[in-house]
Amino acid sequence: MVDDSTGRIVADLRAWVAQAPPGARVPSSRALVARYGASPVTVQKALRALGALGLVESRPGVGTFVRAARAVRPPDYSWQTGALRAPHARIPTLATPMRAGAPDGVGLHAGYPARELLPERLVRAALVRAARRDAALVRADAAGLPELRAWFAHELAATAPAGVVPPAPRDVVVVPGSQSGLSSVFRALVGHGRPLLMESPGYWGAILAAAQSGAQVVPVPSGPDGPDPDDLARAFAETGARLLYAQPTYANPTGAQWSPARAREVLDVVRAHGAFLVEDDWAHDLGIDTAPQPLAAHDDAGHVVYLRSLTKSVSPSVRVAAVVARGPVRDRVLADRGAESMYVSGLLQAAALDVVTQPAWRTHLRGLRPQLRARRDLLVASLAEHAPDAHLDHVPRGGLNLWARLPDATDLDRLARDCAAAGMTIAPGTEWFPAEPAGPFVRLNYAGPDPDRFPDAARAIGAALAAQRDR
Amino acid sequence: MVDDSTGRIVADLRAWVAQAPPGARVPSSRALVARYGASPVTVQKALRALGALGLVESRPGVGTFVRAARAVRPPDYSWQTGALRAPHARIPTLATPMRAGAPDGVGLHAGYPARELLPERLVRAALVRAARRDAALVRADAAGLPELRAWFAHELAATAPAGVVPPAPRDVVVVPGSQSGLSSVFRALVGHGRPLLMESPGYWGAILAAAQSGAQVVPVPSGPDGPDPDDLARAFAETGARLLYAQPTYANPTGAQWSPARAREVLDVVRAHGAFLVEDDWAHDLGIDTAPQPLAAHDDAGHVVYLRSLTKSVSPSVRVAAVVARGPVRDRVLADRGAESMYVSGLLQAAALDVVTQPAWRTHLRGLRPQLRARRDLLVASLAEHAPDAHLDHVPRGGLNLWARLPDATDLDRLARDCAAAGMTIAPGTEWFPAEPAGPFVRLNYAGPDPDRFPDAARAIGAALAAQRDR
């Protein structure tokens, strides 16, 4: 996050302070000016920042000194064990895809596209413009910026067939990222102790959100064509569930895209059981070979609750997504959002709207396709050549990830360790299964790491797998 | 939110489109250029924006037309009633303090300071700088920006007495506003069906967050000195609760500030019951006559979970707050945040850190005191003069609000309607009580509306109360 000259000096001095004894004298401003080739103002700002962080203290007329650490006895927190009780679900403090990779390594584990795939200039310009508008200083409406809600509604309405009443801006609730939308939808529409159907394998974030809500997850097997309608009907009938969570387009992790026929069948099952389909259209802007066709555009009876995110296509820092929900369900979701976080930063909403309504946004999305395609194809080819034991059931037609099946006897922990030793972070597939995994899988992100390193990465995975085979 | 010339044209044309018949021709670009005195580029941008919102469609070479509304049959959402079931708690879609007031009215109901009380130049400059840094384009750490966590820890540590181990940056979890922090704390530390002690009257947002979490709220009466330690001990003992939520400094709505002795007594009761005290230090930057002394600074055994927000002092659009929690409880909170929203926009975090580490931030806070004091004193004096029936139990020494007790027989709904008719929005006190209100109260924000209108506002309240008295 540190990229200006003050920041660089702060980072450097922090490192120095960390190993200096308490009370040590920080070099004089003059010495620092000389060392960093920075202006006295910059050096003073850096020293003030260190002071604000509690790392140094200045004694006027004497100098600046490393702050003496206070005497520390290890506190005893054991009483908390009783107060906290066992949680109703074990939720990790940090899921694998959210971990930081090695600084110069290849991060195949993360869920975000590389910075060069983002519309950087559009985002920066939009943020600067938003910083100068009222949006920077006023509280936004609970349901979101009216114009942004209209944009989300229009995006979905644009693919609605004739005869289907398109969604209206009032059906849209802006949320600070689709994870927040998922959490609210699960809490508001399922709730503690109730059953929730979910594709398996399915999105790890949804598995965590379901656990947090206290819902009872009922896994429904899903493959490259989506869930089998008979399986699904059985799960609804057996459990009395009223909600299915799914990613019909470029599912994470499998990359599956439901055919129009399958989508109709699933929607029919959902309707027949008086249920909701939560359609998480996370990769709407990340198509490669196909164009996403949201199921929600085909439903005007309020069965599909639609989630659309801009985090992965605009910027991970512009935390803006939308829940489109029609009927009383929209009020239930809005009430949960109000209780959870009241409203979404108007600045981020204004910036998001600015980006997606620029003509350059469409140009950017068109240019993204060939880049994603080249990356995907290179990783597929590298694996085929160097890691033939990593089997791809199918090549995804969009999204960010490959989902590789490994040989049955694969020790995933050992694989992850061996890859880490070679500078590569991988995400064992375990976290994408609500229950036991159906086998050893690994999810590999082709959109994040440097493609020049794909062949090496594939070689390392291949070697690690070969070592397990030969054992 | 609209403050530039394109925005003004869009807003104006939206209003025109709203009353125009479908298919109506939008005036030509040339005519619009003339009408608005804007450049052709600006007019084109406005028309494109209207197109992106789905309001008009352009036919190249012909013109731009109001989009024909598709035939609409009212959809039937009644099936959702069965799928949604009754909620475990009734949560309003919009709490009174979050409602928009009348455009030219006096909004005494809202919970935010006026824009002129915000450090506008600091905020805009910080946002512009952040827009140009990496923070605008990368995903932030799950627990928050390290430097911002260090700042929050240092702020609290600065008031820790000798002998108390101060909190460390690792004890800090950055959250997108304190409402999100509250929601996570209640979910993670209390959970569905468990008892949660709360001051009554108490903060409406906390009441909603508790309802959303499924916790059973146990109200503990609280007055200008905070809760009575015996009442509190009894509530812990009777219910087996392990958590008390409170605002010890400038409590919302009462403005109460606990004395140091009362704080010690409450903390002793909390410790004796192996419980957590959630200290919501929402108004830390909004002191008038006193300086806030967080209880959390006196506890290094992990009993106090501390919430500090910047939303009301930096900007409502910079949704950044922190939970400081020591011991295993920090992991429990962090896990809930991960499941709820993964991380907080790095851009907003960088901007917040920028603002609070500028020397001008301290200057701003010093300048804020006399402004809040003048506003508070003017509203107090106006009420005393023009609305003597609105009784103030005590004058708050900080914060944003007065809490007035009204005569027993007051009809609050009628009072709100009469005030609205006079252009004034008030917040009946009902929403600050977890159960039945202890009497008719009203919360009046002196920091938001224009102080020049306080005498008129007080007159209107006085007249409305007098009308009820005379009935």
Judging contacts by C-beta atoms under 8 Å, the chain B residues touching residue A134 are 1-3
List CB contacts (< 8 A) between B132 and chain A. 124, 128
B6, B8, B10, B16 alpha-carbon torsion, rounded to 10°: -150
Q: What percent of chain A is modeled with pLDDT above 90? A: 77
Scanning every residue of chain A, which has its alpha carbon at the shortest distance from the alpha carbon of B176? A341
Q: Which residues of A155-187 are buried (b: 16+ CB within 10 A; e: fewer)?
A: bbbeebeeebbbbbbebbbbbbbbbbbbbbbbb
Instruction: Please give the backbone phi and psi of residue A177, each rounded to the nearest 5 degrees, phi first.
Output: 105, 150
Report the Cα A85 to chain-centroid distance in Å: 30
Question: Which of A137, A189, A318 is the best mutation test for B, with the most CBs of B within 10 A?
Answer: A137
- Residue B284, pLDDT > 60, answer yes
For chain B, how many residues are written?
A: 471
Report the residue of chain A nearest B330, measured CA to CA: A93
pLDDT band at A364 (very low <50, low <70, confident <90, very high): very high
Q: What is the pTM of this model?
A: 0.87
Which residues of chain B make contact with A355, given a CB cutoff of 8 A? Answer: none
| Interface touch A302/B75, C-beta < 8 Å | yes
Nearest CB neighbour to A52, from listed B93, B348, B357: B357
Residues in B closer than 8 angstroms to A101, CB to CB, are none
Q: What percent of chain B has pLDDT over 90?
A: 78
Say if the Cβ atoms of A135 and B335 lie within 8 Å. Answer: no
Which among B136, B211, B341 has the least Cβ separation from residue A317?
Answer: B136
In A, minimum Cα distance to B327 occurs at A77
- Nearest by CB to residue A137, choosing from B115, B145, B153, is B115
pLDDT exceeds cutoff 50 at B3: no
Nearest to B1 among A134, A315, A336 (CB): A134
Give the gap in angstroms from C-alpha A91 to the nearest C-alpha of chain B. 6
Summary mean pLDDT of chain A: 93
Q: What one-letter code names the amino acid at A312?
A: K
Q: CB-based burial of residue B68 (10 Å sphere; 0-12 exposed, 13-18 middle, 19+ buried)?
A: exposed
Distance CA A419, CA B303 (A): 42
Average pLDDT over residues A38-44: 90
Nearest CB to A136 within list B192, B317, B319 = B317
Q: How many CB atoms lie within 10 A of CB A17?
A: 17
Q: What is the pLDDT of residues A146-190, one digit of tens each?
A: 999 999 999 999 988 888 889 999 999 999 999 999 999 999 999
Q: Annotate A323-366 with DSSP letters as a single string.
A: EE--SHHHHHHHHHHHHHHS---HHHHHHHHHHHTSHHHHHHHH
Does the distance separating the beta carbons of A274 and B79 come in below 8 Å?
yes
pLDDT in tens, B108-150: 999 899 999 999 999 999 999 999 999 999 999 999 999 999 9
Alpha-carbon distance B388 to nearest alpha carbon in chain A (angstroms): 33
Name the residue of chain A whose CA is nearest to B140's CA. A317
Of B275, B346, B350, the CB nearest to A83: B275
**Which residue in B134, B142, B193 is closest to A94 by CB distance?**
B142
Distance from CA of A440 to the nearest CA of B (A): 24
Partner-chain contact A276 B83, CB within 8 Å: yes
B197-246 tens-digit pLDDT: 999 999 999 999 999 999 999 999 998 899 999 999 999 999 999 999 99
Q: Are B229 and B373 in contact (CB under 8 A)?
A: no
Cβ–Cβ of B208/A48 closer than 8 Å? no
**DSSP structural state of residue A78:** T
Sign of CA dihedral A431, A435, A441, A444: negative
Minimal-distance CA residue of chain B relative to A346:
B317
Q: CA of B280: how far to CAs of A137, B187, B309, in Å? A: 23, 16, 9
User: Which tens digit of pLDDT belongs to each residue from B137-187?
Assistant: 999 999 999 999 999 999 999 988 888 889 999 999 999 999 999 999 999
Strand order in the sheet with A427-428: A391-392, A401-405, A441-445, A427-428
Measured at the CA of B341, the angle between CA A121 and CA A372, to 5 degrees, comes to: 45
Tell me if A442 sits within 8 A of A459, measured CB to CB.
no
Instruction: State yes or no: pLDDT of A69 exceeds 80.
Output: no
CA atoms within 13 A on the CB side of B463: 13
**Rounded mean pLDDT, A397-419:** 96
Tokens of B152: 């929050």
Q: Which residues of chain A are within 8 Å of residue B183 when distances are taken between CB atoms?
A: 339-341
Angstroms from A416 CA to nearest CA on chain B: 21
Nearest to B53 among A139, A147, A335 (CB): A147
So what's the pLDDT on residue A308? 98
* B338/A95 Cβ within 8 A: yes
Size of interface A-B (CB pairs under 8 A): 339
**Cβ-Cβ contacts under 8 Å, A69 against chain B:** none
Mutate to test the interface with B, among A139, A190, A207 (most CBs of B within 10 A): A139
Residue in B276, B319, B332 to test binding to A, most A beta-carbons within 10 Å = B319
* In the predicted structure, residue A405 carries a pLDDT above the cut 80: yes
Q: Which residue of B has its CA nearest to A214?
A: B192
**Which residue in the set A128, A150, A302 is minimally distant from B77, CB to CB?**
A302
Q: Is A448 helix (H, G, I), strand (E, B) or coil?
A: coil
Cβ-defined contacts of A11-20 (< 8 Å, 24+): A12/A36, A13/A46, A13/A47, A13/A50, A14/A50, A14/A53, A14/A55, A17/A50, A17/A55, A17/A56, A17/A66, A20/A66
Give the model's pLDDT for residue A165: 87
3-class secondary structure for chain B? CCCCHHHHHHHHHHHHHHHCCCCCECCCHHHHHHHHCCCHHHHHHHHHHHHHCCCEEEECCCEEEECCCCCCCCCCCCCHHHHHCCCCCCCCCCCHHHCCCCCCCEECCCCCCCHHHCCHHHHHHHHHHHHCCHHHCCCCCCCCCHHHHHHHHHHHHCCCCCCCCCCCHHHEEEECCHHHHHHHHHHHHCCCCCEEEEEECCCHHHHHHHHHHCCEEEEEEEECCEECHHHHHHHHHHHCCCEEEECCCCCCCCCCCCCHHHHHHHHHHHHHCCCEEEEEECCCCCECCCCCCCHHHHCCCCCEEEEEECCCCCCCCCCCEEEECCCHHHHHHHHHHHHHHCCCCHHHHHHHHHHHCCHHHHHHHHHHHHHHHHHHHHHHHHHHHHCCCCEECCCCCECCEEEEECCCCCCHHHHHHHHHHCCEECEEHHHHCCCCCCCCEEEEECCCCCHHHHHHHHHHHHHHHHHHHHC
Q: How close B323 comes to chain A (CA, Å)?
A: 14
Chain Cα centroid distance, residue A52: 32
Q: What is the mean pLDDT of residues A315-319?
A: 97
Q: Which residues of A touch B55 (CB under 8 A)?
A: 150
Q: How far is A198 from chain B (nearest CA, A)?
A: 16
Distance from CA of A463 to the nearest CA of B (A): 31
φ, ψ for residue A463, nearest 5 deg: -65, -40
CA angle A134, A310, B41 (to 5 degrees): 55
Chain A residue closest to B183 (CA)?
A: A340
Top residue of B76, B139, B208 to mutate, by most chain A CBs within 10 Å, is B139
Residues of chain A contacting B315 with CB distance shorter than 8 Å: 136-137
Q: Which residues of B touch A347 (CB under 8 A)?
A: 127, 317-318, 348
pLDDT of B73 reads 66
Q: Across chain B, what does the average pLDDT equal?
A: 93
* A70-83 core/surface letters (b: 16 or more CB in 10 A; e: else): eeeeeeebeebeeb
Q: Is the pLDDT of residue A71 over 70?
A: no
Are B246 and B279 a contacting pair, CB within 8 Å?
yes
Tell me if B342 and A77 make a contact (CB, 8 A cut-off): no
Residue B69 has pLDDT above 80, yes or no: no
Q: Enumerate the β-bridge partners of residue B424.
A: B106
Residues of A in contact with B158 (CB under 8 A): 54
Q: Considering CB atoms only, which of A75, A132, A275 is closest to B300?
A: A75
Question: Is the Cβ pair A317, B82 closer than 8 Å?
Answer: no
A23 pLDDT above the threshold of 60: yes
Contact list in B for residue A317 (CB cut-off 8 A) is: 135-140, 345-347
Residue B96 pLDDT > 90:
no
